[in-house]
A and B are shown apart, each in its own frame.
Chain A
């Protein structure tokens, strides 16, 4: 008798388990396996507990996302990275929450229910730094298509921070060298924008060569440029971006509409400096503390 009961229980489990495995709330779509995505995802999970399925796109040659969504019926897709953002944007029937995607600039891209957290810090963060470093003329090289709105915002706020932006527009990376040449003796610092037209692997050296020749510091948007010669880097806090996304996710799972959640900018930043460069530029190394105080 006991054996019969045990057999029935096992059969039940075998029947029920597949359904329970497929029934989840959130489909996490990750571009690739990278520590940065894991950090952000930890932030998301730290806010709310939810059932999920993780799908790393780089693990597959081709993913039929439509079929997965149609079969699994998740309540929400969380897209991490540009590839995941581009894939999730095409799935119209499920809400999409985007984070860690440089190409996400707050627009929905025609998706009926898409929001997220941008990777771009508000211009005032940078302006604060320039002010505290007593740098007035700031050279900015950017593409009007990709960074026009951001540059315009910075221009509007600059006067309040005592900063004078000197703007050079480029439509191709090959123009960067020439435009940088035109900034000789006209700027006190360079502002490296997260613009993949103005800042490429090939042109990055031009900024730092200019910085070295003109003895002007480069303020970058990522600490990855510190080793190349940037003096200061203002970075987003990826864990906090995850938390911001987690808060939106929680709210959506609790029933609020997507329209109640407009795109958000990162809340927290981390400032990192290259002391060697600062010393060469004859800028005080305790600038970081001043920047921190002036936040």
Chain B
């Protein structure tokens, strides 16, 4: 297993790969050189054999010119035999101009294999520099003479195979020695060259386990050395970043803990606020009941007083007519009869108003009726909301102006919910309005083209910052958390308007105020 691991490591080692590549490459080069050398040897040998055959044939052709021309067979044979004694000459053939073979001698050492023979045929020509009689006399340049015979010399090339084998053996030994010597020299050199790289690799292996504190030794100033320096710098930076990260993580955890604590506090405050509101609702219910009973009595009494007074006036007028004017409650009857009627009417009207406020408070507090009904007047919802807002008591110095369209169509909806929305919007507008006499305006409009009713609430506050505008309808987001804001008003309002198939939009005129527009569709009740 250990050996296998070693082999695996060796196989995937950069140094061993380079060494193997070098080894294979040099081996291939050596083999190529050997092939070239052998090929060259073969070519040279054949060329030498051809040249030798050509040379011997030319020599013999020059020698036999005269005997061949004069047909001296004996001399021809004698010269051919002399040539046949030359080393490697296997066969000599001499022919005349009619290609008739005059001499054909074969050496006793001639090879039986035809492939081991190289032949050259040379024509026997008169000397081209020797002129004819005519040319010599007339001075005309001599023409090329025509051959009057030919000589064919064949060379034994059976030694070629031996020569090739010898060359292969010699070159193989030389190349093997060269290869081994090359490898013996290359390995230490390669080892030295790749030392810095190997050190770098080992260092990187260690760093891969997360040990960034390790610093790799810089062995040389080459690319690997520079890479090592870079890796060291990188490791140092990583180590610093790691420390920073740890610090930041701790800080973040701490901050999150603090934030969670704050959120918890806020949540608790909201819960307290909600609880308080619930208690307030109960209180209001109780108050409404307690106020409603005496108010009913007041109202009843006022009606009685009115009717009584109405009945008493003719009697009292008769008395005044008979006895003269008399005083009632410190006033002359003539003045008092009007004032008393007005007072009784005022008592009745205010009692009704108290009753309505109580009724609205109860309705607002109960708010359980979610059903949509047709024939809902938006103007009435606005007036209801104004009543509640005015009864709120805070920001009494803010002037609320309302412009209600008299021809506003009724819509399908829930009056109480619409009043809740409008109360929210008006309270927000009033709270955003500074205490410098600026006011809030609420307007109702009918858009026949769109078949919609619009309610526009504008204030003269500082407007909404962009960041706030983006999160207006998010729950529990409020700019007045510290002043008891729950962050649910607009969230609920948006929900209610959406339920009414309408939309609510904010147009900030920052820093000159805010316009809130509520679009409500005019649709029959069955459409919902």
Contacts and interface: CB of A to CB of B under 8 A. Distances in A.
A209 B67 CA distance: 12
Given A176-B70, A209-B66, A194 B133 contact: yes
Interface in B113-136: 126-127, 129-136
Contacts of B133: 102, 194-196, 199-200
B137 interface: yes
A177 B67 CA distance: 8
B332 to A, nearest CB: 158
B265 to A, nearest CB: 130
A119 interface: yes
Nearest to A228: B130
A221 B140 contact: no
B244 interface: no
Contacts of A175: 70
Contacts of B140: 31-32, 34, 36-37, 81
B376 to A, nearest CB: 125
B65 interface: yes
A177 B137 contact: no
A218 to B, nearest CB: 12
Interface string A221-235: 110110110000000
Given A201-B132, A204-B126, A238 B139 contact: yes
B367 interface: no
Interface residues of B, number: 25
A228 B72 contact: no
Contacts of A36: 138-140
A221 B137 contact: yes
Interface string A80-109: 011000000000000000001111000000
B231 to A, nearest CB: 87
Given A34-B140, A204-B126, A196 B69 contact: no
A228 B487 CA distance: 134
Contacts of A82: 134, 138
B507 interface: no
Nearest to B131: A224
Contacts of B137: 100, 102, 119, 194, 221-222, 236
Contacts of B134: 82, 102-103, 196
B66 to A, nearest CB: 5
B69 A222 contact: no
Interface residues of A, number: 41
A196 B72 CA distance: 21
B69 A177 contact: yes
A231 B298 CA distance: 180
Majority DSSP secondary structure for residues of A touching B:
helix
A211 to B, nearest CB: 13
B148 interface: yes
A105 B21 CA distance: 89
Contacts of B72: 177
A173 interface: yes
A134 to B, nearest CB: 26
Interface string A25-41: 00000011011110100
Contact of B127 (A37, A81, A228, A238): A228
Majority DSSP secondary structure for residues of B touching A:
loop
Nearest to A99: B138
Given A201-B145, A228-B127, A222 B132 contact: no
Interface string A166-195: 000000011111100000000000000011
Contacts of B141: 34
A228 B139 CA distance: 16
Residue of A31, A201, A203 contacting most chain B CB atoms (<10 Å):
A201
Contacts of A31: 138, 140
A106 B99 CA distance: 41
A286 interface: no
Contact of A202 (B65, B129, B131, B139): B65
B71 interface: yes
Contact of A205 (B130, B136, B142): B130
B70 A34 contact: no
A222 B139 CA distance: 9
B136 A177 contact: no
A206 interface: yes
Contacts of B148: 202
Contact of A119 (B129, B138, B142, B145): B138
A221 B135 CA distance: 11
Interface string B509-526: 000000000000000000
B139 A225 contact: no
Nearest to A173: B69
A174 B69 contact: yes
B138 A194 contact: no
Interface in A25-77: 31-32, 34-37, 39
Contacts of B67: 177
Given A102-B137, A238-B139, A177 B66 contact: yes
Contacts of B130: 201, 204-205, 224-225, 228
Residue of A37, A178, A194, A204 contacting most chain B CB atoms (<10 Å):
A204
B139 A201 contact: no
Contact of A224 (B66, B70, B71, B135): B135
Interface string B20-47: 0000000000000000000000000000
A178 to B, nearest CB: 7
A24 B374 CA distance: 143
16 contacts: A34-B138, A36-B138, A37-B139, A102-B133, A102-B137, A102-B138, A177-B69, A194-B136, A196-B133, A200-B126, A200-B133, A201-B142, A202-B145, A204-B126, A222-B131, A227-B129
Interface of A: 31-32, 34-37, 39, 81-82, 100-103, 119, 173-178, 194-196, 199-206, 209, 220-222, 224-225, 227-228, 236, 238
Interface of B: 65-67, 69-72, 126-127, 129-142, 145, 148
Task: Give 6 nearest A-B pairs by CB, closest first.
Answer: A36-B139, A201-B126, A222-B136, A177-B70, A196-B133, A34-B140
Given A202-B65, A228-B129, 17 more contacts: A31-B140, A34-B139, A36-B139, A102-B138, A173-B69, A177-B69, A196-B134, A202-B145, A203-B69, A204-B126, A204-B127, A204-B130, A205-B65, A222-B131, A222-B137, A224-B136, A236-B137
